[in-house]
């Protein structure tokens, strides 16, 4: 593999004071292509072919056939009534309602959020029910995430869970409370049922005292969650067995820091049958939501293996203190969805030609 050398409950009854007590203190790096060497091709063959049992495609496929007997296949249990005749999910806006309570503790400078219940959620499972749970953020900070417990087989879950967000009162005007309602799925990607966004806290009646709210859960798909976009090009040279992905730039990334910005870098993983063979990353761009990279990452993939691999791309936010956070992800390959599959097919149809596209980022499950 070759790559450009770049660096890379508290009770809700907490006494709240009056509003008057709260408002106090109101360079571009590019890949240099080297001649093809048999040693480089041997590297990927060792991981994909017979010389390395861990990544033997034929062996993995045979093992999958043997172990697949009696295995539950979740795709067989999708609820047909929720899909249209062509298999796509209907664009219904009826996603139910969410009931929650907001309150601000002026002494502790904390926003208190109690998620009470949801009603009339859409059925996502074959049984005609769902397994709902709720994720909650106080945007633009996405590092502090809270999540309710999963409630099994119900369209009217009662959560009754309390979450705390430390935030100065004067900062509330610039913050948004974001609820994402999901259907838990043990076997595949969790389904996003919908979302609720609350802002303008100071305009709420009775705030900072207890406010009981009912909000419609807005229909949204995973792809509609606005995490930003990433542009990159793909190029494959069959004679050299060289796969090049050039990370060009990103735009409108989700702010992950309290400053309203992020420190993004891009991590690219070469995948085969759920196994990561190699990973590389770009340099980190500081304090920006629109980074420009122009950095090439090269993987050596022999032509006989190109249909068996795919690329997983993750845009990350660097954190010098805590853990690096995932902003969003996308995939390209034969098994990818929509643009990810089309981009890959276009690359294979036009060898030796870089093909560039914008890709929307989605949340990783």
pLDDT of res. 268 = 97
Instruction: Please name each of the domains of the chain with its CATH number.
Output: 96-217 (2.60.40.150), 228-361 (2.60.40.150)
- Give the residue-averaged pLDDT of 192-200: 88
User: Model pTM?
Assistant: 0.47
Weakest mean pLDDT among 19-28, 40-49, 99-108, 233-242: 19-28
Q: What is the pLDDT of residue 56?
A: 47
Q: Which residue has the higher pLDDT, 9 or 237?
A: 237
The span from the CA of 336 to the CA of 271, in Å, is 12
Instruction: Give dist(CA 325, CA 364) in Å, integer.
Output: 11
Closest CA to 48 of 341, 312, 242, 309: 309
Return d(Cα 73, Cα 311) in angstroms, integer. Answer: 24
| Burial bucket for residue 117 (CB in 10 Å: 0-12, 13-18, 19+) | middle
Contact 249, 227 (CB under 8 A): no
Residue 99 C-alpha from the chain's centroid: 26
pLDDT digits (tens, 9 = 90+) for 153-189: 999 999 999 999 999 999 898 888 989 998 887 766 6
3-state secondary structure 283-350: CCCCCCCCCEEEEEEEEECCHHHHHHCEEEEEEEECCCCCCCEEEEEEEEECCCCCHHHHHHHHHHHC
Residue 62 belongs to what H/E stretch?
A: helix 57-67
pLDDT digits (tens, 9 = 90+) for 303-323: 999 999 999 999 999 987 778
- Give the residue from 26, 32, 43, 11 showing the smallest Cα distance to 114: 11
- What is the average pLDDT score of the chain? 79
Task: Tell me the pLDDT tens digit for each residue of 54-66.
Answer: 444 455 455 545 4
The Cα 173–Cα 202 span in angstroms is 7
The confidence score (pLDDT) of residue 325 equals 87
């Amino acid at each position: 593999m070759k790559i450009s050398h770049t660096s890379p409950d508290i009770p809700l009854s907490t006494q709240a004071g009056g509003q008057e007590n709260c408002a106090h203190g109101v360079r571009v790096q590019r890949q240099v292509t080297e001649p093809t060497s048999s040693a480089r091709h041997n590297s990927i063959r060792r991981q994909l072919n017979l010389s390395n049992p861990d990544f033997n495609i034929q062996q993995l496929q045979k093992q999958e056939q043997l172990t697949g007997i009696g295995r539950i296949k979740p795709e067989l249990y999708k609820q047909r009534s929720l899909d249209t005749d062509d298999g796509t999910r209907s664009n219904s806006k009826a996603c139910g309602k969410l009931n929650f309570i907001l309150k601000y503790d002026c002494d502790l400078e904390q926003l208190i959020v109690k998620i009470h219940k949801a009603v009339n959620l859409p059925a996502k499972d074959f049984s005609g029910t769902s397994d709902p749970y709720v994720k909650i953020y106080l945007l633009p900070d996405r590092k502090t995430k809270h999540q309710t417990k999963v409630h099994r087989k119900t369209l009217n879950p009662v959560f009754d869970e309390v979450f705390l967000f430390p935030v100065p009162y004067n900062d509330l005007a610039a913050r948004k409370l974001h609820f994402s309602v999901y259907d838990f799925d043990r076997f595949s990607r969790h389904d996003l049922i919908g979302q609720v966004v609350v802002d303008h806290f100071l305009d709420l009646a009775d705030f900072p005292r207890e406010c009981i709210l009912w909000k419609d859960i807005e229909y949204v798909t995973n792809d509609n969650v606005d995490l930003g976009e990433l542009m990159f090009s793909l190029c494959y040279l069959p004679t050299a067995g060289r796969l090049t992905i050039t990370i060009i730039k990103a735009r409108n990334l989700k702010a992950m820091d309290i400053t309203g910005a992020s420190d993004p870098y891009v991590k690219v993983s070469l995948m085969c049958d759920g196994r990561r063979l190699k990973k590389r990353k770009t340099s980190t761009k500081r304090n920006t939501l629109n980074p420009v990279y122009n950095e090439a990452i090269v993987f050596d993939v022999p032509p006989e293996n190109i249909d068996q691999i795919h690329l997983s791309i993750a845009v990350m936010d660097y954190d010098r203190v805590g853990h690096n956070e995932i902003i969003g992800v996308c995939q390209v390959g034969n098994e990818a969805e929509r643009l990810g599959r089309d981009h890959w097919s276009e690359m294979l149809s036009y060898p030796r030609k870089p093909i560039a596209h914008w890709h929307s980022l989605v949340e990783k499950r």
